[in-house]
Amino acid sequence: MDKIFKDRTDAAKKLAEKLLWLKDENPIILAIPRGGVIIGDVISSILNCKLDIIVSRKIGAPDNQELAIGAVMHDGSYFPNVEITRMLNIPESFVEEETARQRKEIERRLMKFSGIKEYDLAGKTVVLVDDGIATGATMSVSAHWIKKQKPKKLIIAIPVGPPETICKLNQIADKVVVLQSPCIFNAVGEFYEVFDQVNDEEVQKIMKKYGYKLNH
C-alpha cells in the first residue's frame, strides 16, 4: 500500500486547499480529538477561522464493550444502534447508566481541551474534521448532532476514508470533502508515513493558540 500523506500536517494542508472556497463564509472548524485537532489547526490557520472540538463516546454492549449499541454527545443526546439494541434486548436502565458515565468522560475531555461545553452553531457554516475515518461511527454521530443545531451548512472534511463510509456521510452532511477513498481499506494509519499517537498536551497546546483558557 503506497503511503499518501507524509503526516497529519501534510494531509491537512492538502485538505485546506480543497476548502479555500469556504474562506469568505468564516466557518467554524470542529475537530474530533485527538488526531483531528492537528488537521483542524492547520485548516483553521489557513482559512483564518475559529477552531473548536467535538467529542462523542461509544456506548458498549453489556458483555462486549467493543460492540457499539449507540453513542452519546456532551449534552446527553443519545444515538442508538437500533438493530443491535433490539437484537440484544438491552434494558433501558443499562443505557441510562452508561450514558451518564460516558457523559462524565466527555465533560472531562471538553474541559481539558477547550474549557467550554457550549456551542453556537445555528446559521453558521460548520466544517467537521478528523485525520481519517474507517467505520465513521464517531463522525456520523457528531454530524447528526451538528445537524440538529441548525447550521447554515455542514461540511465533513477528511484526508482518507473508505467509499462505503463516505457514501453514508454524504447522506448526513451537505458536502463531504475527501482527498482519497481507496477501495482496499484496513486502517487510517496505513495511508500515512508518520501516524504517531497524539497526546493530550499536544491538543492543549493547539487549543491555547485559539484563546481557550485551560487550567490543566
pLDDT tens-digit map of 89-121 = 889 899 999 999 999 999 999 999 988 888 999
More confident residue, 66 or 79: 79
The per-residue pLDDT for 42 is 98
The per-residue pLDDT for 207 is 95
If asked whether residues 152 and 204 sit together in one domain, one would say yes
If asked whether residues 131 and 194 sit together in one domain, one would say yes
Name the pTM for this structure.
0.91
Does any domain span residue 113?
Answer: no
Range(s) of the domain holding residue 93: 58-107
The pLDDT-based confidence of 41 (bands split at 50, 70, 90) is very high
Segment holding 9, helix H or strand E = helix 8-17
The pLDDT-based confidence of 161 (bands split at 50, 70, 90) is very high
| Phi, psi (degrees; rounded to nearest 5) at 163 | -55, -40
If asked whether residues 13 and 46 sit together in one domain, one would say yes
Query: Which contacts (CB < 8 Å, 24+ apart) does range 71-75 have?
Result: 71/137, 71/138, 71/141, 72/99, 72/102, 72/103, 72/106, 73/106, 73/141, 73/142, 73/145, 74/103, 74/106, 74/107, 74/110, 74/117
The per-residue pLDDT for 153 is 97
Does any domain span residue 23?
Answer: yes
Does any domain span residue 96?
Answer: yes
Tell me: pLDDT of 1 over 70.
no
If asked whether residues 81 and 157 sit together in one domain, one would say no
- What CATH number is associated with residue 186? 3.40.50.2020
What is the greatest pairwise CA distance in the chain? Answer: 49
Alpha-carbon Rg for the chain, nearest whole angstrom, is 17
The per-residue pLDDT for 209 is 92
If asked whether residues 135 and 205 sit together in one domain, one would say yes
> What are 30's strand-pairing partners?
52, 128
Tell me: pLDDT of 216 over 70.
no
- Count the domains in the chain: 2
Tell me: pLDDT of 25 over 90.
yes
Tell me: pLDDT of 126 over 70.
yes
Average pLDDT, the chain: 93
Does any domain span residue 22?
Answer: yes
pLDDT tens-digit map of 181-212 = 999 998 999 999 999 999 999 999 999 999 88
If asked whether residues 47 and 134 sit together in one domain, one would say yes
CB 32 within 8 A of CB 137: no
Does any domain span residue 66?
Answer: yes
Tell me: pLDDT of 213 over 80.
no
